[in-house]
Structures are given as structure tokens and as C-alpha cells.
Structure 1
Amino acid sequence: MKIAGDTFDPVQITFLRFIIGGLVLLPAALISMHKKNIILRSKDWVLLSVNGFVVVVIGMILFQLAVDHAKASTVAVLFSCNPVFTLVFSFLLLKEKLSKLTLISIILSIIGLLVIVNPANLTEPLGITFSLLSAVAFSIYSMISRWVSIRTGLDGLAITGFSLLIGSLELLALMLLTYLQPIVNAFSGVPALREFSDIPILAGISWGNVPLLLLAGVGNSAAAFALYFMIIESSNVSMASIPFFIKPGLAPLLAFLILSEKITVNLIAGILILLAGSLLTIYSNRTRVSPKKNNLLDT
């Protein structure tokens, strides 16, 4: 996404990746609904619309803005703290139990994030803020998706496909509004809002960057999001958070190899603390009772 941000507008690349991802997952979503004989009511579509708005319009635009205002390694690690919010939300809203080890892992994760951010010497405050807000939005998206699953019986593929597609269409509607002259005039007068005026939709697409768009849309959006919710279905929200604990160790390495970003001492120390928290989370999940007894579909 850092590379894509150098080619496309932040809002534009968010729209393109999720319209592609949503369309890729749409056939699987419709087939799943047909097999399960599920008919969605108007309230269900409202929930899916809210879900799409939260993840695409709010969460992923914030993520792309974060990538544009901070190092990719820092953004990736900070976004990985979304399980901290997810675990708390799952406890408050979905009544998932939090073991002592899970609570300790949350504390370690927070400490690790503080070490990485280093509040005493903030160098990328805007990017860091966008990253954390994006993580919160993704956590809310996870909770709404789980709620939709319990309410409708839709599987992860269907919920992901509908949410991404609807969210991208909502974003498209907002993008079209930026071409209205009153909005152009209002945004042009404010430096911070100029990039949200006349947002390009298809401009800049060429055969040379089609592979990048497919990677972002099919791999990073459709496949990754769908797999995430398939994990939730087979276990619980806590177990699905484990990949995000692995990400802090992987993302900086890839950023170093691909983007030549420097790996700082604070980043290494924070990653080690986050990995310690992830190990506790994994161990805590292994010591729980069987997934069937924890599966939220049974509650």
C-alpha cells in the first residue's frame, strides 16, 4: 500500500482495492446465501452498510493516510494493535471471556506500542494517529461482522464480500460529491482538505500497475479479509487476532527489504514485547476449553 500510495490518491486506491475485492468475493457470497437459503431483511442490509462504511470509508482511508504520513513498518506495527481493541470489545459486547494470560498479553501489547511510538519523541504524529484510529475502526468492523454472522447465519466470505462491496460503493458516492463546485470551493480554501477535492476515480490506471491493483484488491483485501473471518468462524475473535501479533515481526522486515526503511532500536524492542504478548495469547487460547464451547454462534 505504500508503493500504491505513490501511484494513486489515498482515497482512490482505497476505493479501487475494495471494489475489486468485493466483486471477487460476490459470487461466493451469493452461492453461500443460496446454499443456506438465507434471505436478508432490510435491517440486515443496514448493518452490512454500516459495516462497509466503518471498514472501507473510515478504517481503510485512515490506514492509507497513515501509510502516506509515516513509515510503512510503523503503520503496520501500530495497526496490529487492533486485537487489543478487539479483545476488549469482544469482552464488553460479545461476552467472550478474557483469561488472566490474555489480560497480561493486552498489557504487554500496550507497553510494546508505547515503546514503538515513543511519546517523548514523536516524529510522525499524524501517521501514528491515523494508524491507531484505523485500528479502532477495524476492531469495530470485526465486532459488527460477528454480530451480523450471529444474526443472519452468513459466513465470513459472504459478510466480507458484501461489506467490502457496499463500503466501496459508499466511498464512490462520496468521491463523486467532491466534484460538486460548492465542495470544491470549500475544500480548496483549506490546505488540509485540498486532497479531498476532485478525487480521481480511474485516473492513473495503466497496464503497468494492474498487477499492483490486483495484489491490493484480490490478495490484500478479498483473500486476507475473508481468511480473517473464516478463522473467527472456526474458533473465536481472540484466536483470529493472532495473525496481527505475528505481523509486527514480519512487516518491518519486508519494509526493510522492499522499501529500504530503517529498523530502529525502539521498533525492535517494541516488536519483541508485542511478540511476547502474542505468545501469551496463543498459549491462553490453547489452555481454554474446546472451541465449540466458546463459539459465539452457540451463545
Structure 2
Amino acid sequence: MARKIFLSYLYLIIAIFLWATIEIAMKSIQDNTSPILINFLRFFIGGISLLVYRISTRKSQSLIYLIKTFPKSYIIASFFGLTLGMTLFAYGTSMTESYLAAAIISSNPLMISTYMILFKGEKRSLNKIFGIILGFFGMIMIITEFKFKDFLQMENLLGNILVFIGTALWCIDLVIGKILLEKAKENEEIAKVTSLDFNIVTFLTSSIFMIPFLFFPGEFSTLLNHTWDTWLILLYLGIFATGISYFLFFKGISKMEASKGINIVYLKPIFATILSFIIFDTNPSIFFYIGCAIEILALIIISYEKIDGKS
């Protein structure tokens, strides 16, 4: 049991680290491509790479079963969570600072925990609620250093709003995926379905939904004129930051309560800040160290549960 929990957290931490690179990667190519193309290629490349792996395992029956049995689930998750949510997020990121976008999307544990409590009846506890709020506070400290006026500056405001709406919609995909995987544990027939199957179907379905956007003026010509370095970053976003990271995220969260596992996302700003130190040679402030300590404390509090009156 302890080994399974350790592996779950390991999968989640790797996934969050890969997610922490997304805003930096997107910002690095935003002058050479468009938010629409970034979003389409992320999920198309991610979906195809996972599909090739699934076919190589010769276990595609579960994929077919999911497509036939749960069209409502994956269509809603694909359309609202990935097509609308991530497209708005991509546009918002291009219109604001990357650290502000990272701060907003890292608040998704609050959204997901609220979704799960309201619509799934997941149990709530004082530890869990306090840990979620504390983790959010630590994340805001790391990203903003309490310079909240940056969020409200007119040049960033519209982008921040789009990132927030996109994040709220993206959480729909995560919640539906979590609920579907919980059903897989309870039903022998549904147990054939894995997080890999869910990600393949939602990624490729969202890519289909995004095809009409490619006919917007200039989009297709931009696609044909991508440079090799832009394609390398797009391949990274698709295979690693999308395909592999989502697979690991759902694999990890499937073995624990969503409101516990999802709070690992609070580590994202820590990873993002460390990456900025390495890439941009920036120096950490005192807020970074205090925020890291708060994040770790929050995760410990959230993970703490009383069993038969004992900790």
C-alpha cells in the first residue's frame, strides 16, 4: 500500500514538473505561431503519441470500449475542458506575463476540490479545507511576492481573465477523468478503461473540434511556415508536456482522492520558479523560500487523515 501511494505521488510530481514548463515553452514560440495552432498541435501530437504506444501494447480493446460506452463523458471533457478551456488559456497566456498565467492555473486545486465536494460528494474535513487554502496562499506568495497590482494592470487584465476562465473549464476535463477512473475500480467491465485510454480519446476528440479553427485567416499559412526550432518545442509540448504528463497525472490521481492528489499542483509554481532561475539566471527572493515551506506544510496537512482515532 505504501509503495502504491509513493508511486502515485511520484507520477503526480513528474506530471506537474512537465506542466511547469508549458508557459515558458509557449512564450518562447508565441511570435512564430498562434495560440490556436499551439493548442491544436499539443493535443494532436500528444494523442497520436499515446495512441501509438497503446497500439504497441496490443490492449486497444479498452480504447474501443471507452469510445462506444462513454461518448457523453469524453465529448464534454474534450469540448469544454480541452478545446474551449485550453484555447482560452493559450490566448490568455499570450496576452499576459507567464508567471501570472502560472499563478492563475495553479489555483485549480481550489476549483477541482470544490467540484468534487459539490458534485461528487467527496468528504470534506478541516484539515483538507485548511490545507487547500494554505497551499493557495503559499502559491500566491511565490508567484506574486504580494505584488497584486500586476494582476489588475490593463495590459494583463484581459489575459488574466481568459486564463482564469480557461482554467475553470479545463478542470472539467480533470474531474470527468477522475470520476470515470473511479468507476473503473468499481465495475469489472469498465475496469478495462485506463487513464491512457481517456487521454487518447479526449486529446484526439478535442483535436477534431479544433480543426475548424485552423481555417481562420492566416492560421494554415502559419502552420506551413513553422521553423524547425518551433516544431521541436511543439513536439515537446505535445509528447512530454501533454501526452506523458496527462497520462502520469491521471495514473497517480486514480489511486487517491482528487482533492488530495490535485493539491500536488501547488508544486507547479515552485518548479516554474526553479526553472526560471536556471534558464533566465534569476535570483530567488525570501518569498520563494517562505512560500516553498508553506507549500510543503500544506501538502502534509492535506495528506493527514485520522484512522480509528489515530493519526
Relative to the length of structure 1, the TM-score reads 0.77
Q: Report the equivalent of 1:186.
A: none
- Equivalents in 1 of 2:132, 2:295: separation in Å? 7
Matched, 1:258 2:291: no
- 1:112–1:271 Cα contact (<8 Å) kept: no
Q: Report the equivalent of 1:162.
A: 201
Q: Report the equivalent of 2:31.
A: 6
Describe the SS at the equivalent of 1:97: coil
Superposed counterparts of 1:153-232, under 5 Å: 153=191, 154-176=193-215, 178=216, 197-200=217-220, 202-232=223-253
Q: Report the equivalent of 1:132.
A: 164
Identity %: 22
Describe the SS at the equivalent of 1:39: helix
Q: Report the equivalent of 1:23.
A: 48
- 2:74–2:201 Cα contact (<8 Å) kept: yes
Give, in angstroms, the shift of residue 96 of structure 1: 1.7
How far does the alpha carbon of each residue in 1:189-226 deviate from its partner, in whole angstroms, 9 at most, with x for none?
A: xxxxxxxx443362232333332121111011101111
- Equivalents in 1 of 2:288, 2:111: separation in Å? 18
Describe the SS at the equivalent of 1:47: helix
Relative to the length of structure 2, the TM-score reads 0.74
- 1:63–1:130 Cα contact (<8 Å) kept: yes
Q: Report the equivalent of 2:120.
A: 94
How far does the alpha carbon of each residue in 1:160-216 deviate from its partner, in whole angstroms, 9 at most, with x for none?
A: 11101110111113333x3xxxxxxxxxxxxxxxxxx44336223233333212111
Q: CA 1:250–1:37 in 2, change beyond 3 Å: closer, same or farther?
A: closer
How far does the alpha carbon of each residue in 1:42-76 deviate from its partner, in whole angstroms, 9 at most, with x for none?
A: 56123212211123211211221222112212211
Give, in angstroms, the shift of residue 240 of structure 1: 2.6
- 2:106–2:265 Cα contact (<8 Å) kept: yes
- 1:19–1:164 Cα contact (<8 Å) kept: yes
Which ranges in structure 2 are unaligned for 5 or more consecutive residues? 1-25, 185-189
Q: Report the equivalent of 1:50.
A: 76
Give, in angstroms, the shift of residue 289 of structure 1: 5.3
Match of 1:78 among 104, 127, 134: 104
Give, in angstroms, the shift of residue 22 of structure 1: 0.5
- Equivalents in 1 of 2:33, 2:306: separation in Å? 45
With 247-256 and 198-207 compared, the bigger mean Cα shift is at: 198-207
Aligned-residue CA RMSD (Å): 3.1
Give, in angstroms, the shift of residue 258 of structure 1: 2.7
How far does the alpha carbon of each residue in 1:205-264 deviate from its partner, in whole angstroms, 9 at most, with x for none?
A: 23333321211110111011111100111223123313311111121332354357897x
1:131 alignment partner AA:
V
Give, in angstroms, the shift of residue 271 of structure 1: 8.4
Describe the SS at the equivalent of 1:101: helix
Give, in angstroms, the shift of residue 101 of structure 1: 1.7
Which ranges in structure 1 are unaligned for 5 or more consecutive residues? 179-196, 291-299
